[in-house]
Structure 1
Amino acid sequence: MRHPEYQYLDLLEQVLDRGDQRLDRTGVGTRSVFGALVRFDLSDGTVPVLTTKRVYWKLAVKEMLWFLTGGTNIQPLLRENVRIWTDWPLAAYRRATGEDISQEAFERRIVEDDAFAARWGELGPVYGKQWRRWLGVDGAEHDQIAALVKTLRENPASRRMLFHAWNVGELAGMALPPCHMVYQYHVTSDGRLNCLLYQRSADLLLGAPFNFVGAAALQLMLAQQAGLRPGELVWVGGDVHLYLNHVEQAREQLAREPRPFPRMTLARHARSIDDYRIEDFVLEDYAPHPPIKADVAV
């Protein structure tokens, strides 16, 4: 059987060879295709942590756990050594103050100074806010994650088991509108939990590998909370692109042969969806190729 990672590599090659080249919001420029689908089977215990380059999977899982808290400030992330969201508030701070502060100094101030973090570490009503505290027109807050867990347990045949983050009324206040925006779930008659993730905008080199890991980790958590077994993870991309400053890195990755996917397990049965910690996630047999460095386009 062909290694499932080739789905990702084939998509990478397709974007390189046939992607439409154009200027994008960041000014860096992209090559992109519209509409893509990959499928990963989690039922054998493996998870799609790419092997043709090292993926820092703990950062992706920590990010997912942060989303589940409903948080929108980068201070807790930085205290967990997760720096993937710093670029946006740092750029906003530099624009507003004119101070050419280094990323390291900015992050140190966020970690050490609560007042500074409250003012400059806030991302607006991004993922966690929408997942856990979606504001209805009546002023009531809706916890989409809690509702999903309840439905998985009580009505697993439902076709309404989903949550999303594209809240039109709050997009303007977000540092970055949601990319992985809709997660829908499906339970088979033999108790397997499947997930379909729709990602409207996918940075194929840097973003998508993290999103695969985060979605798989969430699927394991939800399956455990509902007494189910992980099934298939289906990822659907809208605008799937490579930034022009990632082209050489993509070619380097394409020259590598995939290695077996690792296995991920949960070390304990958490009391609720809010009770998971990074220490609960155990990854075994991960032996990837070396990392490939690339800059984030802001």
Structure 2
Amino acid sequence: MSRLDEILALVKHVPPFPKVAQRVAEMLRDPEVSATALTEVIQYDQVITANVLKICNAAYFGLPRKVSSLEEALVIVGNDTLKDIIVTSSSAKFYKGAAGEGYKLDQGELWKHSVAVGIMAKELVKFVKGVDKGSAFTAGLLHDIGKRFLSSFVADDFQKIMAKVVQDGCSFVEAEKELVGASHAELGGMILSQWGFPKDIELAVLQHHDQDALEKDPLTAIVTLANAIVISMGIGVGADGLAVKIQGAGLKRFGITTMHLELCMANLLMEIDRAQELFHI
């Protein structure tokens, strides 16, 4: 069996993403969706229900009493926060405890980086028209999901990959694809396709290292920019992150100024603290 065949076989055995989480994400695209309708779907997933109630009752919300009703909790947290809670808590099982040895990431670092990119993507969307902030968060959160499953393959060929980067002057992703058989971005796109995610999110994950796609697809550009900003802040740099730079053209395209960028960074630091409290990152 070739290395690529091994990777494709691995994709087929990746556990499914919770269907309830995907259904709720679809429902939340309708701003008029009711808490009652959401409750009818969420109540059938005990893990998501428990997470929503746990987070609603966290100190962050400062409620005077404990909330035990799922429908009441949904009203309190609001639709935007609900989507973040559901996607993050559902993604946690794929990231938490995962070692990123192939990318020289400490345990838990890939998870923290992914959450940070999701938050940063949502922050950047505040300055961009036509990109859904929920989609930006989800695409940012899952942009490196391929690393979770490709890491051991990369670890086996790490020295060869780095030698090719140095000798040929290519990117880590290009060397990764040639020597391993697929890049983590390609693997991520395959996984999201298998999970049945919306095409725009799948493409953003697939193309987040594709320079040509950055000029065509706003969501891809936002995720790529968010990834570069988070790496520049020292969150989840890894072996491949050293060559990732913030592209001035991306900032200029969306009219994001230095002041906007500093505000996004400040908000990220606050939000990542909140995420660490709520999701034990």
Compute the TM-score of the two structures, normalised by the length of structure 1.
0.27
- Give 1 or 2: higher helix fraction: 2
Choose between structure 1 and 2 for higher RCO, CA contacts under 8 A separated by at least 6 residues: 1
Compute the TM-score of the two structures, normalised by the length of structure 2.
0.29
